[in-house]
Amino acid sequence: MHKAAFKTLKVSAVYEAFDVKPNDLEDFMKNLHEKHVDGLNVSMPYKTEVMQYLAGIDPVAKKIGAVNCIYKKNGKYHGTNYDWKGIIEPLKKITPLKGKKVLLLGAGGAAKAACYGLKKEGAKVFILNRTFESAKHLADQYGFKATETAEFMPEIVINCTSVGFDNPEESPINPRVFKDVKIVLDIIYGHKTRFVKDARAAGVPYIITGLEVLLYQGYATLEKWLGVKAPKEVMRESL
Ligand code: ATR
């Protein structure tokens, strides 16, 4: 999607994947200048670890505790986070989130980004996680509730666990939960997950897949790097 955007905007740039081994991360980050890197996305599992190699971290990334976008300012590398936008923006296209009852599954990196955005929008969030203590810890940070059940009739269900990433046939939640749910969002992209299939089968009216999440953080990232409006249709099409 970024390559397509560069082409449309006539920007002379490439977007490449780097396969960085854990032992090479420090060297990799210290040699960004030599590699002529002007911007970078960071994916799992380095979103927190890269922070120590940056000249500055935006408040949003500090609060979330993770960086997914690196940009250059005055010749130095700074980190920010647009994962929260990837989750919030497609939801907001469907409905305002103020006061909405949200069931958030997971309490890891992606869930932290979701919490940041959901708090900003004034949603009522209940966090359900395999490890209750992490759900409690995250909930306390944002004034949300940790829950051990999904019996409270959520209007929106968000999957921020990694269940379904390795095994697409596994879902983090019993499909019964989807009964009166209006919107389901899955952060996992690359394949159809059991979570999404269950939601579809249950007749959930709005389903946002991980691809959409990827796309929206991509818009924000591109705009940060180039300082111009993202060519959204071109990016969507290419993705
Ligand atoms: P990410 O950065 O993608 O959020 P992460 O920080 O490793 O990845 O978080 C993964 C999330 O998926 C966690 O909430 C994790 O639950 P725990 O806190 O109990 O580890 C959840 N998760 C991973 N595998 C799971 C499984 N098999 N069943 C339920 N939850 C799972």
Per-residue pLDDT of 126-157, as tens digits, reads 999 999 999 999 999 999 999 999 988 999 99
Whole-model pTM: value is 0.95
For 84-210, the fitting CATH number among 3.40.50.720, 3.30.70.360, 3.30.70.270, 3.40.50.1100 is 3.40.50.720
What ranges do the domains of the chain cover? 2-81, 84-210
Please give the structure tokens belonging to residue 123: 């949603």
- Active site residues per annotation: 47
Distance, CA 233 to ligand 1 centroid (Å)?
Answer: 33
pLDDT band at 31 (very low <50, low <70, confident <90, very high): very high
Spatial distance between the Cα atoms of 170 and 162, rounded to a whole number of angstroms = 10
Q: Provide, rounded to the nearest whole percent, the portion of the chain with pLDDT above 70.
A: 100
Q: CA-CA distance, 139 to 150, in Å (whole number)?
A: 15
- Lateral strand order in the sheet of 56-57: 39-41, 69-73, 76-80, 56-57
Asked if residue 91 lies in contact with residue 155, where contact means CB atoms within 8 angstroms, the answer is no
Structure tokens at 219: 């818009």
Closest CA to 113 of 138, 133, 144: 138
**DSSP-based three-state secondary structure for 120:** helix
pLDDT for 99-114, tens place per residue? 999 999 999 989 999 9
CA distance 125 to 41: 28
Asked if residues 77 and 54 have their Cβ atoms less than 8 Å apart, the reply is yes
C-alpha count within 13 angstroms, C-beta hemisphere, residue 156: 27
Between CA 110 and CA 124 the distance in angstroms is 18
Distance CA 236, CA 239 (A): 5
Query: Which burial class, exposed, middle or buried, applies to 237 when counting CB atoms under 10 A from its CB (0-12, 13-18, 19+)?
Result: exposed
167: confidence class by pLDDT, cuts 50, 70, 90: confident
Mutational pocket test of ligand 1: of 48, 104, 161, the residue with most ligand atoms within 8 Å of the beta carbon? 161
Q: Which atom of ligand 1 is nearest to the CA of 134?
A: 18
Would you place residue 52 in the very low, low, confident or very high pLDDT band (cuts 50, 70, 90)?
very high
List residues bridging with 158 in a β-sheet.
Answer: 104, 185
Alpha carbons 213 and 190: distance in angstroms, whole number? 12
Q: Which fold has domain 2-81?
A: Rossmann fold (3.40.50)
Which atom of ligand 1 lies nearest, measured to the CA of 106? 14
Which residues does a 6 A CB cutoff place in the pocket of ligand 1?
Answer: 44, 106-111, 129-131, 134, 160-163, 172
